[in-house]
Amino acid sequence: MKVNVKMYLSLFRIRFHRNLQYRAVVLGAIIKGFFWSLMEVLGYIALYHANLTGFPMELSQTVSYVWAHQSFIVLFTVVFADGEIYSSIRSGTVAYELVRPSKLYGRWFCQSASNRLSFALVNCLPVLLLGLLLPKPYSLTLPSSQAQLILFTVSALLALCVTVAFAMLMYISLFYLVSQRGIQMMVRVTTIFFSGGIIPLPFFPDPVLRIVQWLPFAAMQNMPLQIFCGSIMGTVAAKGICFQIFWLTILVLTGRAAMEQATKKVIINGG
């Protein structure tokens, strides 16, 4: 077990350094994140201007939500640039992975998680900082108490795991299906919309929300972002974290079983 942890940690380190290599890409991502959030914030301010009380979240909460969403976006993206995994399935090099003395599910899970985490660490802090520096209506507000910050951290880690666990199911489905692009697109659309990537989930009409809040997507970015901006607090937040653990367990168990099935039957197009 100890060996395993060390191996996964070094996998993470390698990835982190690799992502840091491309400074221009990082700078570009920061600029884009900043302006994208700013435009969204301006849009929301205009909306609140039309009706200050009609929305389920306060303006400052929504603004923080937008900033946090853009800052952590990479962390909670299901369809992210995990190019190596996609191409290893398509080209058949996955066969090499199978002979390695570690479980494929763990390896890929770790690889995807560290891919997101390392990219987000470099990209997200600057955007958050820029968001803090702006004047009042446009600026980001940090969580009000330490307890809230801790809840956010826990929830964010769980959301990352749920996101990756869901992505794993998608990778596994690619063993059976040829159209990678089609599947990626469908998964991207569904996960972004139902996890609060277009508009925060509380903005959904109540009848829709009643269903959507139980889906696994609600256990993704929705939870940590709502905790971050203070729209859910205390026991509600704690319940949310339990909800995340529930879905994480289900997704990981299904994923491992499915992986077992898939690798048993995998046919490598040799050459």
Partner 1 sequence: MRLYWNYFLMELKSQMQYKISFLLTTLGQFLTAFTSFFGIKFIFSRISGIDDFTYGQVLLCFSVIMLSFSIGEMIGGGLAVFPNLLREGELDRILVRPRRIIPQLIVPNMDFSRLGLLLQAVIVLCIAVPVSGIQWTPQKALVFGMMIICGSVIFFCLFLMIAAFAFFIIGSLDFLNIFTYGMRQFGRYPFSVYGDTILRFFTFVVPLALVQYYPLLYLLDREDSFLYMISPLLSLLFLLPTLLLYRIGLRNYKSTGS
Task: Give which of 65, 79, 71 is closest to 163, Cα–Cα.
Answer: 79
- By CB under 8 A, residue 198 contacts partner 1: yes
Determine the interface stretch with partner 1 among 34-42, 157-165, 168-176, 254-262 (rule: CB under 8 A).
34-42
Q: Which is nearer to partner 1, 104 or 167 (CB)?
A: 167
- State the minimum distance, in angstroms, from the CB of residue 186 to partner 1: 5
- By CB under 8 A, residue 211 contacts partner 1: no
Determine the interface stretch with partner 1 among 7-15, 38-46, 92-100, 234-242 (rule: CB under 8 A).
38-46
Query: How far apart, in whole angstroms, are the C-alpha atoms of residue 162 and residue 158?
Result: 6
- By CB under 8 A, residue 25 contacts partner 1: yes
Query: How far apart, in whole angstroms, are the C-alpha atoms of residue 192 and residue 76?
Result: 9
At residue 31's C-alpha, the angle toward residues 26 and 35, to 5°, is 150
Task: Give which of 15, 25, 4, 174 is closest to 89, Cα–Cα.
Answer: 174
Q: Among residues 9, 14, 17, 22, which is the contact residue for partner 1, using CB under 8 A?
A: 22
- State the minimum distance, in angstroms, from the CB of residue 103 to partner 1: 30
- By CB under 8 A, residue 253 contacts partner 1: no
125, 134 contact by CB (below 8 A): no
Q: Among residues 1, 2, 6, 51, which is the contact residue for partner 1, using CB under 8 A?
A: 51
Task: Convert 131-152 to b/e letters by CB count within 10 Å (16 or more is b).
Answer: beebeeebbbbebeeeebeebb
Q: Among residues 2, 49, 136, 264, which is the contact residue for partner 1, using CB under 8 A?
A: 49
- State the minimum distance, in angstroms, from the CB of residue 202 to partner 1: 10
187, 78 contact by CB (below 8 A): yes
Q: Among residues 95, 150, 199, 253, which is the contact residue for partner 1, using CB under 8 A?
A: 199
- By CB under 8 A, residue 179 contacts partner 1: yes
The amino acid present at 125, given as its one-letter code, is L
- By CB under 8 A, residue 24 contacts partner 1: yes
Query: How far apart, in whole angstroms, are the C-alpha atoms of residue 123 and residue 133?
Result: 17
- By CB under 8 A, residue 257 contacts partner 1: no
- By CB under 8 A, residue 136 contacts partner 1: no
- By CB under 8 A, residue 39 contacts partner 1: yes
- By CB under 8 A, residue 174 contacts partner 1: no
Structure tokens at 174: 């690619």
- By CB under 8 A, residue 205 contacts partner 1: yes
At residue 83's C-alpha, the angle toward residues 82 and 89, to 5°, is 100
- By CB under 8 A, residue 43 contacts partner 1: yes
Q: Binding-site residue total for partner 1 (CB under 8 A)?
A: 38
Contacts of 239 (CB under 8 A, 6+ apart): none
The amino acid present at 116, given as its one-letter code, is R
Query: How far apart, in whole angstroms, are the C-alpha atoms of residue 68 and residue 153?
Result: 13
Q: Which positions touch partner 1 (CB under 8 A)?
A: 22, 24-25, 28-29, 31-32, 35-36, 39, 42-43, 46-47, 49-51, 54-55, 178-179, 181-186, 188-190, 192-193, 198-199, 203-205, 208
